[in-house]
Amino acid sequence: MDVRQPGYVYSKNITCDCEIVFGEMPLTLLDKDQELRLKGTTKLGKGKDHAKFLPGIISYRVISQITLPKKYKETILERYPKADIKEKGENIVIIDNKEKTLVDFCEGLCLRDKETFETKDTDKLVVIVESFGQIKAEEILKKAISALKENLNELSKAF
């Protein structure tokens, strides 16, 4: 990269035989009589070797069932419109199965008003895959499953 004019220099200004994932990322601001010359080298690697090669993050949590008084239904739906809420007598039952967890929010409502609530863990998980942009989330998950299978095969050979 060779930029010799005042103004912002963006990642899209990098010239290479590769794809710039986030082209609108500002790198620096050049004043009059300033220039930027940049020469770089890319290196392909795996996240198990160094965190700089990670394409994203995979996390998981247990799906919970939350029971609390019915009076909180509208408040919860205002904040979490996609919440899975069912009425059961004087209470509501929420299946906390979305990416953002509701447990802390519901607990805060009940503690504030000195109401009781109940949380039960289920035997199911929510798996969240966040991509940093280099690889799609679906591809990250597929490659992670493939690597896990390969590692399990190696482990089974040891026994």
Domain ranges of the chain: 2-37, 51-56+129-157, 58-127
- Report the pLDDT value the prediction gives residue 50, as an integer from 0 to 100: 92
The CATH number, out of the four listed (3.20.20, 3.40.50, 2.60.40, 3.30.70), of the domain defined by the range 58-127: 3.30.70
pLDDT grade for 18, boundaries at 50, 70 and 90: confident
pLDDT at 16 over 90: no
Q: How does 37-69 read in b/e, with b if 16+ C-beta sit within 10 Å?
A: eeeeeeeeeeeeeeeeeebbeeeeeebbebbbe
Say if strands 2-3 and 56-69 run parallel, antiparallel, or are unpaired.
unpaired
> What is the pTM for the complete model shown?
0.64
